[in-house]
């Protein structure tokens, strides 16, 4: 639990004056301007470990939208872009490095118009369908076999988003049978004829998407009835193993929606989803991916932080109906959403990804780690070329984004045991938004090591974070001079992690965080063994 003891940066600066970079151990290529740094005391409560951080909270989402799947992941085996069985080699390699724990597909809004039967069999014979949600034609060349193979190739669990909006439950159940039956049913044999003998495993099945909107325009009570009906008829073959059925839930702070779903259908579901997108403006004027102001930055960070209190609110409702904590809360769409640039030809919902995205991504992962009792899966929107993407492509070129690097740096937290972190927080104030300067997360990794992640969200000032104990910190830092610093196809390494290390002096271990930075370190502290 973070203790939010806000004090103005001014008084904090008066208390401790030092130079941001003095004594910091990160590489010379990350060179933000020196600035006075506030000081923050941090302590890690090793005596009270929390529930395991499920690796799946570092999951991703890929939809048939813009160039998210076609071009971004799939170019087909005949493409001149180097590929393995149709999947781009560059994207495959980048994703393998991240160890993506779970991948949600094929939507989004697209899921509720998708018929899986269109996407199996010889590709040349598959029907071409209009993508009613996002425009264009879908030739169905990326279908079930292609998705399941892809998930297997990158070592990810499959999270199928089922069509509850316009498909009968029988057909949804048959999808699972086609994929995972080891029998000789007609569907299982069809899978074999389509090139896959061994059954795959489907770990998660979503029941519809945003049923309150593009998934059917239902109210929560009507949606609950649908969930009861569909969950009844989804009976996966025993060879599939456990299948987690996820009811499409509300968004943001819609606690009443969660309340109605839990009251009317809670017994029938294994998890309820929640969607949360962040903008500095509103739905009609979301804000810009590049060239934004410090006030936009502050609002974006502040709104990303709101998810913390929303998760607390939804957890309260879930605790009322499910005190045993059986039902998970899955934030299966989240991220920054900016206004598109009409002149950009990179496809629907394509946006650049900057240091601001890195800061909010790291903050959001910290929030998930604090809610590990309920939040057992999350999926950033989206994987490639869409919204807050990990990867951007342009023809044969590919670039990884600052958000990708945050996910990479945070890998030690997958499957880790979190510890409560107490931070005395200065705040920064820009354009009317008052934002805590530092956010963090501490955990014992599956590797047995103690890990600490820290974010300095202040775009203008460095901060010093002090741990009382003696020891050392070794890891990486992501930072840049400009708020909207980003990687381009011509300059793919403008924002990449740099080595970072600190050793304690007489005052304990002090980590200097430059303005707008994310640091993940392994701590070696006196008295911090397990």
Report the catalytic residues. 210, 333
For the bound state, the minimum distance from the C-beta of residue 210 to ligand AHR, rounded and expressed in Å, comes to 5
* Choices 52-60, 102-110, 259-267, 446-454; region in contact with ligand AHR by CB under 6 A: 102-110
Q: Find where tokens 């519809």 sit.
A: 208
Closer by beta carbon to ligand AHR, 111 or else 520: 111
Sheet holding 38-44, edge to edge: 421-423, 38-44, 463-467, 509-513
For the bound state, the minimum distance from the C-beta of residue 335 to ligand AHR, rounded and expressed in Å, comes to 8
Strands 102-105 and 157-162: parallel
Q: Which of residues 55-74 bind ligand AHR (CB under 6 A)?
A: 63
Applying CB under 6 A, the site for ligand AHR has a residue count of: 9
* Choices 25-33, 103-111, 152-160, 404-412; region in contact with ligand AHR by CB under 6 A: 103-111
Q: What are the angstrom distances between the C-alpha of 166 and each of 35, 179, 208, 446?
A: 57, 21, 9, 42
209 touching ligand AHR, by CB under 6 A: yes
Closer by beta carbon to ligand AHR, 21 or else 380: 380
259 touching ligand AHR, by CB under 6 A: no
Among 59, 86, 106, 108, binds ligand AHR (CB under 6 A): 108
Bridge partners for 137 per DSSP: 130
Closer by beta carbon to ligand AHR, 164 or else 452: 164
Closer by beta carbon to ligand AHR, 60 or else 512: 60
What is the number of other CB atoms lying within 10 angstroms of the CB of residue 319? 15
Among 107, 249, 266, 412, binds ligand AHR (CB under 6 A): 107
Tell me how far apart the terminal alpha carbons of the chain are, to the nearest angstrom: 20
Closer by beta carbon to ligand AHR, 384 or else 442: 384
- Asked whether the beta carbons of 465 and 510 are under 8 A apart, the reply is yes
Site pattern 318..337 for ligand AHR (x: CB under 6 A): ---------------x----
* Choices 104-112, 295-303, 360-368, 446-454; region in contact with ligand AHR by CB under 6 A: 104-112
* Choices 107-115, 182-190, 318-326, 369-377; region in contact with ligand AHR by CB under 6 A: 107-115
Question: 332, exposed or middle or buried, with CB in 10 Å at 0-12, 13-18, 19+?
Answer: buried
Q: Tell me the two tokens of residue 397.
A: 């070129």
382 sits in which H/E element: none
206 touching ligand AHR, by CB under 6 A: no
163 touching ligand AHR, by CB under 6 A: no
Q: Which residue is nearest to ligand AHR (CB)?
A: 108
CA separation for the pair 478, 363 (Å, rounded): 13
* DSSP label of 74: B
Q: Tell me the two tokens of residue 73.
A: 């992941």
3-state SS record for 199-218 = CCCCCEEEECCCCCCCCCCC
381 touching ligand AHR, by CB under 6 A: yes
109 touching ligand AHR, by CB under 6 A: yes
For the bound state, the minimum distance from the C-beta of residue 161 to ligand AHR, rounded and expressed in Å, comes to 9
Buried b (16+ CB within 10 A) or exposed e, 242-271: ebbbbbbbbbbbbeebbbbbbebbbebbbb
Closer by beta carbon to ligand AHR, 113 or else 408: 113
Q: Which of residues 387-406 bind ligand AHR (CB under 6 A)?
A: 387
Computed from CA positions of residues 369, 478, 74, 334, in that sequence, does the dihedral angle turn out positive or negative?
positive
For the bound state, the minimum distance from the C-beta of residue 483 to ligand AHR, rounded and expressed in Å, comes to 24
236 touching ligand AHR, by CB under 6 A: no
At residue 506, the 3 state secondary structure works out as: coil
Judged by the rule CB under 6 A, the positions of this chain that interact with ligand AHR are: 63, 107-109, 209-210, 333, 381, 387
């Amino acid at each position: 639990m973070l203790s939010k003891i806000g004090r103005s940066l001014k008084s904090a600066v008066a208390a401790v004056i030092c130079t941001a970079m003095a004594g910091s151990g990160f590489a010379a290529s990350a060179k933000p301007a020196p600035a006075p740094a506030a000081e923050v005391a941090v302590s890690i409560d090793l005596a009270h470990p929390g529930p395991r951080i499920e690796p799946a909270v570092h999951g991703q989402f890929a939809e048939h939208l813009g160039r998210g799947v076609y071009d971004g992941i799939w170019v087909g085996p005949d493409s001149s872009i180097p590929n393995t069985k149709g999947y781009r080699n560059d994207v495959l390699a980048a994703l393998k490095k991240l160890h993506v724990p779970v991948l949600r597909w094929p939507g989004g809004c697209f899921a509720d118009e998708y018929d899986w039967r269109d996407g199996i069999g010889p590709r040349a014979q598959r029907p071409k369908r209009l993508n009613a949600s996002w425009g264009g034609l879908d030739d169905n060349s990326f279908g079930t076999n292609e998705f399941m193979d892809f998930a297997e190739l990158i070592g990810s669990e499959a999270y199928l988003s089922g069509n509850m909006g316009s498909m009968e439950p029988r057909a949804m159940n048959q999808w699972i049978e086609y994929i995972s039956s080891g029998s000789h049913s007609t569907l299982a044999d069809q899978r074999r004829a389509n090139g896959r003998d061994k059954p795959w495993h489907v770990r998660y099945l979503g029941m519809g998407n945003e049923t309150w909107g593009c998934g059917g325009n239902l109210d929560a009570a009507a949606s609950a009835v649908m969930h009861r009906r569909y969950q009844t008829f989804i009976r996966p073959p025993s060879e599939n193993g456990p299948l987690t059925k996820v009811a499409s839930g509300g968004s943001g702070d819609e606690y009443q929606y969660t309340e109605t779903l839990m009251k009317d259908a809670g017994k029938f579901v294994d998890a309820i989803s929640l969607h949360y997108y962040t903008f500095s403006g509103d739905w009609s004027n979301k804000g810009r991916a590049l060239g934004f102001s410090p006030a936009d930055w502050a609002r974006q960070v502040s709104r990303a932080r709101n998810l913390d209190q929303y998760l607390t609110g939804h957890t309260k409702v879930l605790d009322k109906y499910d005190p045993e904590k059986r039902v998970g809360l899955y934030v299966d769409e989240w991220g920054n959403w900016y206004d598109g640039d009409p002149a950009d030809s990179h496809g629907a919902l394509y946006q650049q990804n900057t240091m601001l995205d890195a800061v909010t991504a790291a903050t959001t992962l910290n929030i998930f780690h604090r809610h590990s009792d309920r939040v057992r899966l999350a999926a950033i929107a989206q994987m490639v070329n869409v919204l807050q993407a990990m990867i951007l492509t342009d023809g044969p070129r590919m670039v990884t984004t600052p958000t990708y690097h945050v996910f990479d740096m945070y890998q030690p937290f997958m499957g880790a045991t979190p510890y409560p972190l107490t931070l005395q927080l200065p705040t920064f104030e820009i354009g009317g938004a008052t934002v805590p300067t530092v956010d963090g997360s501490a955990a014992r990794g599956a590797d047995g090591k103690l890990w600490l992640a820290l974010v300095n969200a202040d775009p203008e000032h460095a901060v010093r974070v002090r741990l009382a104990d003696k020891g050392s910190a070794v890891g990486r830092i992501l930072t840049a001079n400009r708020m909207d610093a980003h990687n381009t196809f011509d300059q793919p390494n403008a924002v990449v992690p740099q080595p970072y290390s600190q050793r304690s002096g007489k005052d304990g271990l002090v980590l200097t965080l430059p303005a707008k930075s994310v640091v993940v370190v392994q701590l070696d502290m006196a008295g911090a063994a397990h």
